[in-house]
Structure 1
């Protein structure tokens, strides 16, 4: 049964450079917790408070470094898949709970590419697929792939709209 499910998964993956990007986000989050740990450590030292708050925040920092820099980006990259077909776009993502979404082409209103400073540094872009109800995103695609995908989805959405 597991083999059958894996065959039906979307086939396209996001860029491997997404790992670096997500790890940078993890380092930034860990830096914020590290600043809190340093602050509590200084308060503990100057006011001679109990060491327990400092110890607890230090443990949280260690766990955050392990999970947000190493574990979560790897799991997130392994789970993120997408596939564009003539009639729909299929997205699969999630860490522990895997979500699979089908976006019918006839519902696509417009497609955008987004690129912030970190994405631009790593030559990546995010595709946003807007429908009347919501916006779906495919993160961290190579710039060229993102542009081709945007044009492809836009063309397929026009064709699907003409067929209706």
Structure 2
């Protein structure tokens, strides 16, 4: 039995996930403000507004300060000759093994927030789904993409 994967994603992922949490919070606050406005116009119960305001404070704190740290601590991966192992999750830990013979292609993905921090994600595609290793340094992501594609080709030749 294998031990827990050893490799970690970049610590800069914390900043990326926090910015993402801020964006989600702004959207959530906008929807909350609209809901409170509509409750006020249509004489809705006051207690619903209080609950919405409380949730509008609690959820952003969790998504900006707590969840990114927990997510970063848990996220690990390992690339072996015959498989890719991923571990992720905050409350429920998921460990996934992707056999190299199942890998169809590998991509690197970089959105504007990742680009700002010189990070990229590696996406490994199989016939059934895609598996992502988020927030790696750009050079590390490119090297990993080539390495996984090389291993997948070798594994395919063995079949």
- Is the contact between residue 40 and residue 53 of structure 1 (CA under 8 Å) also seen in structure 2? no
Residue 161 of structure 1: CA displacement? 1.5
Any gaps of 5 or more consecutive residues in structure 2?
Answer: none
1:28 maps to what in 2? 23
- Is 2:61 aligned against 1:66? yes
Q: What is the CA distance between 1:135 and its match in structure 2?
A: 1.0
Does the residue aligned with 2:154 lie in a helix, a strand or coil? helix
Gaps of 5+ in 1: none
Residue 150 (structure 1) aligned to one of 142, 145, 148: 145
Q: Which runs of 4+ in 1 moved over 4 A?
A: 40-50
3-state SS, counterpart of residue 138 of structure 1: strand
- 1:97 maps to what in 2? 92
Change (3 A) 1:151 1:55: same
User: Of residues 48, 56, 76 in structure 1, which corresponds to 2:51?
Assistant: 56
1:107 and 2:102 equivalent? Answer: yes
CA RMSD of aligned residues (A): 1.9
Give SS of 1:133's match: coil
**TM-score normalised per structure 1:** 0.88
- What is the CA deviation profile of residues 53-87 of structure 1, one whole-angstrom value per residue up to 9, with x for unaligned ones? 32111100111122111111111111110000111
1:131-150 equivalence runs, <5 A: 131-150=126-145
SS at match of 1:61: helix
Q: Distance in 1 between matches of 2:39 and 2:137?
A: 47
* Total equivalences in the alignment: 159
CA drift of 1:35 comes to: 1.9
TM-score normalised by L of structure 2 = 0.90
